[in-house]
Structure 1
Amino acid sequence: MHQRIISLLPSAAEIICLVGGQPEMVARSHEDDFPSTIQHLPILTEAKTRFTTSADVDRQVSEALSQGNSLYNLDVDQLKALQPSVIVTQDLCNVCSIDLVSVQRVASKMDPQPEIVTLNPTSIAEVMESITLVGTAIGHAKEAAKVRADLEGRVQKCKDVAAQVKMDNPDYKPKKVMFFEWTDPIYPAGHWTPEMIEMAGGVHPINPPGIPSKRVSVESVVAIDPDVLIICPCGLDMAATRKEYDIMMEKEWFRDLANKATTVALVDGNQMFNRSGPRLVECTEWLVMLLHNRPDFEPVDFPWERVK
């Protein structure tokens, strides 16, 4: 049976395409921009917030959520007209994408009702499981199994490098990483990113693996005395990330941290780390490259720059 698939989540679109479902996609969310071959598809969502500065976006988001409002508009009429058989969405973060309840409300009134696949991974293992889940739902289970095996093999290679480094050096101290998922207020990395840092042989003392990102104080960031600073604000491209970095460098506490750190890197937080999709494997490989000076692990076309 020919499926009619809608993705309302950037990581879902990446998975659908990777397992061979792209020809059956009929629409996407406004954030689904990878791979570039899906950009002609109709867009069913739009954000109500507009990016200005980190602090201002935080204010916009807090106000909307405190009033019980969704941060996104959903084009209900177009969604119904497309008559999807499968909709892939999420229920992990109401700030990141359209919320599940809004999607369920529409789907329940459709005939026939589409299958809703909800992805809520909080770890690398669960991201891998979501590849199987999507592949099965859209009739590409075999391709999904192959993709998953390949990605899991690459993750294992990253872990092997970290293990070898520890074996070769009995006095090995893992580098302390401070990963900024948002800069003002400060949100350190959450969910799968601290786990990936540990897989690559580092530590993320401020927020351990599996815990959602939550607001922290400047004092707690300074207290961990990080060796590595990674600035990768969720949803921001390289140009916007550079601006946020420049704003941070105006603050004395951050300048001191950056001066003491051995490595400072800026990463495109729209494409990398903050999407719970297959490219998290590339991000883990990039961490191996960064923490162990292993250029052979640097992924092709990875959007980042080294400040120090």
Structure 2
Amino acid sequence: MKIASLVPSATESLFALGLGSCVVGVTHECDYPPEAQALPQLTRSVLPPGLPPHEVDQRVAATLEHGQPIYELDAALLAALQPDLIVTQEVCTVCAVSYDDVLAVAARLESRPRVLALDPSTLGEAFADIRRLAEACGVEERADELLEALGRRVEAVERAAAEASDKPRVVALEWLDPPWIAGHWVPQMIALAGGEDVLGMPGEPSRRASWEEVRAARPEVVVVMPCGYRVEEAGSEALRLRDRLEALAARVFAVDASAYFSRPGPRLAEGIELIGHLLHPHLIASPGRGRAVELDLG
């Protein structure tokens, strides 16, 4: 089977299921596992690189308002790869190639590929999509093993967090300029890790907010997780807006959103371990260095 993955989280899931050798093409953002970076890239962003965050927000909004795509698909390369399966998504209009565009291109391919759209809104749905992906590839037993392992990790964090004497009030920011409240599976991740997400709604889309709304929520912990940013980039952006953030909470963390929060794949389990450690370091061990940094905003 030849698989074209048009979603970074799907690429991660395919490799985790032992299907890396079947993947023939990926997106320009597929950087995990490292082997994925050597595969042909089927997409590109229409936004110029290096834009400041506030301009990214404006450009994305304007592009979508005019009905134009954020990403472009290399239809010629996709046709040359002759995939049997194309994996795409519908959950986010700014995260991947348009689902309708993928269907239109797939209908013209000689290989007549199946198109599988992943559309998770919750943690359970994200993990269920791993099983759907495995079923589409005929490796259901591998999904059983992977999901059982992920479930054990999540349950271990939940049990440890239950021993905590408090549940810190948490705000997770998916973007800073302007502020966006993280939604979908992130509020569930915070709850499992022993926190109370005071603005995010489980299963609901991320949403734009105001700094006044964030401040009024009285968070004790702010987790900065700009979509698509690594921990160093998230930390730099947080420091640029230190005046806003230092007025919100005593503790502010920047995390690797791309690896552990933005992408609904297997590494969400590690994201739960990470949040658990940040909130309750005496109860939950760190999943490893380099995944988060506590910011000194004083």
Identity %: 35
Q: 1:35 to 1:301 in 2, by over 3 A?
A: farther
- Output one character per residue of 1:186-245: Cα deviation in whole Å (capped at 9) or x when no partner: 101110001110111111111221111110111110011111111110011233222211
8 A Cα contact 2:83 2:111, kept in partner: no
Query: Match of 2:270, SS?
Result: helix
Q: Which residue of 1 aligns with 2:137?
A: 138
8 A Cα contact 1:20 1:140, kept in partner: no
Q: Which residue of 1 aligns with 2:240?
A: 247
The question of 1:218 aligning with 2:211 is answered yes
Matches within 5 A, 1:116-131: 116-131=115-130
Q: Which residue of 2 aligns with 1:304?
A: 292
The question of 1:159 aligning with 2:158 is answered yes
Q: Which residue of 2 aligns with 1:88?
A: 87
Q: Which residue of 2 aligns with 1:169?
A: none
Matches within 5 A, 1:225-264: 225-249=218-242, 251=243, 253-258=244-249, 261=250, 263-264=251-252
Single out whichever of 47-56 and 222-231 deviates more from structure 2. Answer: 47-56
Matches within 5 A, 1:144-293: 144-165=143-164, 172-249=165-242, 251=243, 253-258=244-249, 261=250, 263-293=251-281
- Output one character per residue of 1:107-163: Cα deviation in whole Å (capped at 9) or x when no partner: 111233111111111111111101101111122211111001110111111111122
* Residues paired across the two proteins, number: 295
1:277 aligned partner, one-letter code: G
8 A Cα contact 1:26 1:82, kept in partner: yes
8 A Cα contact 2:172 2:200, kept in partner: no
Q: Which residue of 2 aligns with 1:75?
A: 74
8 A Cα contact 2:161 2:284, kept in partner: no
For 2:120 and 2:162, the matched residues in 1 are separated by 25
For 1:218 and 1:54, the matched residues in 2 are separated by 16
2:272 aligned partner, one-letter code: T
Query: Match of 1:89, SS?
Result: strand
For 1:51 and 1:192, the matched residues in 2 are separated by 28
For 2:87 and 2:27, the matched residues in 1 are separated by 10
Q: TM-score, normalised by structure 2?
A: 0.95
The question of 1:47 aligning with 2:40 is answered no
Q: CA RMSD in A?
A: 1.4
Gaps of 5+ in 1: 166-171
Q: TM-score, normalised by structure 1?
A: 0.92
Q: Which residue of 2 aligns with 1:24?
A: 22
How far apart are 1:271 and its partner, in Å? 2.0
Gaps of 5+ in 2: none
2:17 aligned partner, one-letter code: V
